[in-house]
Amino acid sequence: MNPSQPASRITIRNTWLVLVQVLALALLVLATWKLRTMIAWVVLGVFLALTFEPAVFWLTRHRWKRGWAVFAVFFLGLVLFVGLIAAFVPMLSAQARELSARGPELLERARELPPIRWADENFQILEKARTSVGDQASSVAQPALAVAGGVVHAIAGAITIVVLAIFTLLFGEQVFDSSLRWFPLQRRARAKELAIRMSKVVSGYVAGTTIIAAIGGLVIGTTLAILGVPYFVPLGFLMMILGVVPLLGTTIAAVIIVGITFATSGSTAALVCTGVYLVYQQIENHLLQPVVQTRTLKMNPLLIVLALLVGTGLAGVLGALLALPIAGALQVLLEDILTRRSERGAAGADSIGASGQRDG
């Protein structure tokens, strides 16, 4: 009996440890789910901070104090944002209302396209779209409070994200330096260097992707304005917004834009818009995107697709937006781990060779 009692106690203790760990994991998952909105805001705030970090760093290199550099960057961003709103929102709102009012007419004209006619005959896509638009229009007045609450929630989220980004730029380095105390003294320098490399990958990718999306929106919006398409402002913004989504974003935007262009301005304008989009897509794929990929991610295309699929499956559009920068940061981390293992392996081989020479 006595020999079996210690084994029994160890088994019971291990069982309780496993149960406690499972309970802690379940609580962590539950807390993450409950706080998913806040976590998304924090992640977006950090990514916004990393986007502005190169501009802040450039100002600090030119003898600006970091606080004033952060203030200048965000003040300039606010001025540009307010200027865009003052210049484009009235036109955007008017064109969007007109586009929405002409929705049924545009659906009917879109039916003239052979691919859409075939899809409608086989899958009734236009009827479903017409029914969906009618249902939404009939229920607009009912959820007024819900819409107002959603707007307030979005404004609160935007303010929170901006404040988090500002605080990250101002005090993030202090928090990171404090966290380095948990590392052994000999590993702190390497951990800091690794964190700097990861932040450069993320900030470079986010900033580059944002600039490319803005260029795409400007090119398409300008093309539509020259062609006389009446909704060039919202369609240009649509290309800009969807251009941030990797791989399929610009394609989805182009399909919508070409369809609306055909419905409002005819086949010639639609063909010209398609040609401009295809030319720009080649320039983006072979010139603009390689610059961003080469200087930031340096990731295999297959890994890019897999990261996008995982991110989209886990968090939808937000996951698709964050998948590649997170994957890029993880790639830097894994490459550093492999480098350290190779260094330890080389050091071990050298020590074995040296001991063999001494024995000989």
Sign of the torsion angle spanned by Cα atoms 217, 223, 226, 232:
negative
What count of other Cβ atoms lies within 10 Å of the Cβ of residue 292? 19
> Each residue's pLDDT tens digit in the chain (360 positions)?
455 555 445 577 777 788 888 888 888 888 888 888 888 888 888 888 887 888 888 899 888 998 899 999 989 888 877 776 776 667 667 766 776 676 666 666 666 666 666 666 666 665 666 565 555 544 444 455 555 566 677 788 888 888 998 998 888 888 888 888 888 888 888 888 888 888 888 888 887 888 888 899 999 999 999 998 877 888 888 898 888 887 778 888 888 888 888 877 888 888 999 999 999 988 887 778 777 766 677 777 778 788 888 888 877 777 878 888 888 888 888 888 888 888 777 766 666 666 656 655
Burial 240-258 (b: 16+ CB within 10 A, else e): bebbbbbeebbeebbeebb
Hey, which bits of 128-175 come out as E strands? none
Q: Taking the domains of the chain in order of start, what are their residue ranges?
A: 36-129+153-342
CA distance 347 to 320: 41
CA distance 275 to 231: 19
CA distance 53 to 56: 5
Distances (CA, A) of 6 to 9, 12, 18: 5, 10, 18
Q: What is the number of alpha carbons within 13 Å of residue 78 lying toward its C-beta?
A: 11
Cα 95–Cα 247–Cα 196 angle in degrees, nearest 5: 105
Closest by CA to 243, choosing from 274, 268, 221, is 221
8-state DSSP, 181: G
> With 0-12 CB in 10 A as exposed, 13-18 as middle and 19+ as buried, what is 344?
exposed
pLDDT of 147 reads 54
pLDDT of 31 reads 84
Residue matched to tokens 């939808």: 316
* 353: Cβ contacts below 8 Å, ≥ 6 apart: none
CA distance 178 to 166: 19
pLDDT of 146 reads 57
CA distance 25 to 59: 44
Is the whole model's pTM more than 0.75, yes or no? no
